[in-house]
Structure 1
């Protein structure tokens, strides 16, 4: 207690508590802000939700969100104010010039964010104003697309666009409330203005069960936060840059790296779960009814826990991690590039956008390059397994309990070990750091991908050549058969003519 009180006069209350807990003060403020979503939800439902004047609702959300932003980032809150005001005035003056509006809105927000990264970034993942700002950038860009979609005829819109298009732009207060929505502006999730509008209009309020669902999500978030803290205490990031780690046996190293990656992921997952719990409690996340006719509160879910923990491939991680951001990129980037008529280019552009959105660090670009390469490799392995292995050996393998056990062990080992490889660059960010870790584990990810590519394309080449030769022989046989049939058909005629 003496040590705790000595800290307070020198650093202030928040710094003293954060030091006592053993976390950076920025992370402690972030956690408090996320958890604040729960009492705010209770206050809203008790006192604000019953008020018919929607202006009061908008003022509550705008005021609470802006206040929490100031609590975390002080005067740097002006960056988000500039972003929101810019989009509002662009809508006001350029809304009907859709292409010009979209271009200016997109370029402004991405340029502002990248300039922010340029002036503030360090060697670590920084908890600065740029963190909520990157969430705001996606929200304002998506909002811009929704505004222009509202100018189109219904027949011109896709199913997703029909659900998010805005026929009339909101007021400045409404836009502030949407942008600063508590428990939604700091770490996500992304949701369209139409969802916020439906929530404020009371369309979700008649459904019961949000409190229980929200508390369960809070419990899951707290559990993952504890596991993360305990796990990273055994495997801190700094350990993997040391000579001691490089001297560990190879198999141990790649498993250590894999478990460290899981614990590092839990840092993000715990924040998303705690945030989602608060959004469920306030009632924003209603998605309809599930197959049992019960309310489904997963409308803002940013992680699919069951798939995350039971999945065996990197594609499962992609599908279960940061779900709302991936859906946003799919709707506003990938699908908008449909005119290119090439899924590979559209997918590459979407991953490129995500890398740029994260910042300048080389680790982001390496991570998304690895995602593209590893997921593509997994699809090749799946095709090879189903088209080559199973047709020949499936009747034996599927009836073997030993094979099923080995298959489970191999897939889980792959899941753990390659997660470590893929997340390394994302966490260590700088080339001079993540390349040290790659070197310590003998670049096993690169080696595996290269060896598989060589095997797959070689097999594919010879298999196709063999198939072509076989097809040529079959064609010759067919030709001979046709000739024989023709001769047989001619013989009766010849006999008759004789």
Structure 2
């Protein structure tokens, strides 16, 4: 029973009518209501459950709440998550003495199941179906599998990250289901290891105060981003960038509109993550220690860094500030475990490839992550070349002194606006024919720029190496001429 089928039932038809009256998608409304339900579940937990000494009640509470949310959104399709969690537990139980085989089978099963789900459900639009929370669950269970396998290794063979998340014992089925179905994070994340959940249940974060106020603040900021994203979607619908009207706009404004549209799409995700994070903070699971000023830090489950996101000006800033937990998961369980390749570039490309496959089969996902790879690479190359020019050293001659940094930052933010528009276009439009049409409207400017830059950079490196060799030869020649020792040896050999 999907959400559409669920709406046919008298008890659930209210949501469908409400969505129709507001002119919004019913599945999206159910998702939003479920996110807000997380606050109610968090308050109830803090008031009635958190002080219960029987930890089984805590786990049971989270399982029931998570299942209710899943049933409310996806009906009988809830069985997919039940199968996933049960399979991981059975594999862990049967292969406890074979951690390598367990990791491989656990990984292959979950990725295969997810991809088959994508194959039968994907369309050319973003659909809120059972595959949406399932992709979150897949990462959670794969990470759990790695942590469980790491728990059987010798401590000196583990990295600091692996030591912090490794599991020496297999949790009970109820504990695993509670971890997977935690209501405030089941639908859209964020990712966090089982060790954090265990610390939370055991009361390690309970004595710290301020979580209610911090959660409300995060929720308020999430509201602002939600409103901005909804207003932006009205002025910049996806269809506009596939229309003839868009191609008639001046080239500069085509690039600018594309960037604003991408920002609006990003804000939709940011809003959902902030609202979810607020509920997790209220729940009390996101404690991250103390700040330098002595205040409690509740950013342990934060999926976005707003300061970097809003003030940054490179693709690397987006990587470090957007979908933080998923990127950390990718780094810990994919990128760093490819060290045996002994090549960071290949490991990075493989990690992005995994992320693209995890999102689905649409070509837009693969192009989006290829864009990330290309732009991050070019940015690093450009930064190295720029540093050698020493142009920034002459900034003092510009008067008044704030003009140069202000002008530089303006250019950087303009670059940020234009490039994020390019990078996000395939991620939003998904199908090849659609994102290629949008790309043609802006004359493939980033692709051409990357090609031109690559030619320049390789030429620059060639001549830089040649100049360095000439300098080394010249230095050696002078040393030969000026060194009495070398000259004496040479004279002796001639004699």
SS where residue 302 of structure 2 aligns?
A: coil
The change in CA–CA distance for 1:167 and 1:489 in structure 2 (over 3 A counts) is closer
After superposition, give the CA deviation of every residue in 1:35-56 in whole Å (9 maximum; x if it has no partner).
1011111111111112110111
For 1:3, the equivalent position in structure 2 comes to none
For 2:27, the equivalent position in structure 1 comes to 26
What aligned pairs does 1:463-474 form with structure 2 within 5 A after superposition? 463-474=464-475
Say yes or no: does 1:38 pair with 2:52: no
For 2:201, the equivalent position in structure 1 comes to 200
Q: 8 Å contact 1:8–1:15 — kept in the other structure?
A: no
After superposition, give the CA deviation of every residue in 1:428-477 in whole Å (9 maximum; x if it has no partner).
01001000000011111111111111222212212221222222222212
For 1:404, the equivalent position in structure 2 comes to 405
After superposition, give the CA deviation of every residue in 1:183-206 in whole Å (9 maximum; x if it has no partner).
111000001111111111111000
Say yes or no: does 1:71 pair with 2:80: no
After superposition, give the CA deviation of every residue in 1:402-446 in whole Å (9 maximum; x if it has no partner).
332321211010011101000001000100100000001111111
Q: 8 Å contact 1:424–1:437 — kept in the other structure?
A: yes
For 2:187, the equivalent position in structure 1 comes to 186
Say yes or no: does 1:364 pair with 2:383: no
What aligned pairs does 1:261-340 form with structure 2 within 5 A after superposition? 261-340=262-341
What aligned pairs does 1:107-126 form with structure 2 within 5 A after superposition? 107-126=108-127
Say yes or no: does 1:423 pair with 2:424: yes
Q: Residue 99 of structure 1: CA displacement? A: 1.1
Give the length in aligned residue pairs.
483
* Larger displacement relative to structure 2 (369-378 or 391-400): 391-400
* Larger displacement relative to structure 2 (317-326 or 343-352): 343-352
* Larger displacement relative to structure 2 (382-391 or 139-148): 382-391
Q: C-alpha separation between the residues in 1 aligned to 2:269 and 2:235?
A: 18
What aligned pairs does 1:59-458 form with structure 2 within 5 A after superposition? 59-390=60-391, 393=394, 396=397, 400-458=401-459
Q: Residue 399 of structure 1: CA displacement? A: 8.0
Q: Residue 393 of structure 1: CA displacement? A: 4.5
Q: Residue 396 of structure 1: CA displacement? A: 4.4
Q: C-alpha separation between the residues in 2 aligned to 1:478 and 1:354?
A: 54
Q: 8 Å contact 2:395–2:401 — kept in the other structure?
A: no
Q: C-alpha separation between the residues in 1 aligned to 2:467 and 2:286?
A: 55
Q: CA RMSD in A?
A: 2.0
Q: C-alpha separation between the residues in 2 aligned to 1:481 and 1:265?
A: 64
Q: C-alpha separation between the residues in 1 aligned to 2:53 and 2:164?
A: 25
Q: Residue 76 of structure 1: CA displacement? A: 0.4
Q: 8 Å contact 2:114–2:131 — kept in the other structure?
A: yes
Q: After TM superposition, where is structure 1 displaced by more than 6 Å over at least 4 residues in a row?
A: 487-490
Q: C-alpha separation between the residues in 2 aligned to 1:129 and 1:263?
A: 25
For 1:494, the equivalent position in structure 2 comes to none
Q: 8 Å contact 1:96–1:148 — kept in the other structure?
A: no
The change in CA–CA distance for 1:349 and 1:342 in structure 2 (over 3 A counts) is same
SS where residue 327 of structure 2 aligns?
A: helix
Q: 8 Å contact 2:480–2:487 — kept in the other structure?
A: no
SS where residue 83 of structure 1 aligns?
A: helix
Q: C-alpha separation between the residues in 1 aligned to 2:229 and 2:393?
A: 44
Unaligned segments of structure 1, at least 5 residues: 1-6, 491-498
Please say which structure displays the higher CA radius of gyration.
1
SS where residue 284 of structure 1 aligns?
A: coil
Q: Residue 105 of structure 1: CA displacement? A: 0.4
Q: Residue 478 of structure 1: CA displacement? A: 1.8
SS where residue 128 of structure 2 aligns?
A: coil
Q: C-alpha separation between the residues in 2 aligned to 1:349 and 1:472?
A: 40
SS where residue 295 of structure 1 aligns?
A: coil
TM-score (norm 1): 0.94
The change in CA–CA distance for 1:376 and 1:260 in structure 2 (over 3 A counts) is same
Q: 8 Å contact 2:16–2:26 — kept in the other structure?
A: yes
Q: 8 Å contact 1:143–1:193 — kept in the other structure?
A: yes
Say yes or no: does 1:52 pair with 2:53: yes
Q: C-alpha separation between the residues in 1 aligned to 2:467 and 2:338?
A: 38
After superposition, give the CA deviation of every residue in 1:250-297 in whole Å (9 maximum; x if it has no partner).
000000000010011000000000000000001000011111222110
Q: C-alpha separation between the residues in 2 aligned to 1:214 and 1:393?
A: 46
Unaligned segments of structure 2, at least 5 residues: 1-7
Q: C-alpha separation between the residues in 2 aligned to 1:354 and 1:274?
A: 24
For 2:4, the equivalent position in structure 1 comes to none
Q: Residue 392 of structure 1: CA displacement? A: 7.3
Q: 8 Å contact 2:481–2:487 — kept in the other structure?
A: no
Q: Residue 397 of structure 1: CA displacement? A: 6.4
Q: 8 Å contact 2:480–2:486 — kept in the other structure?
A: no
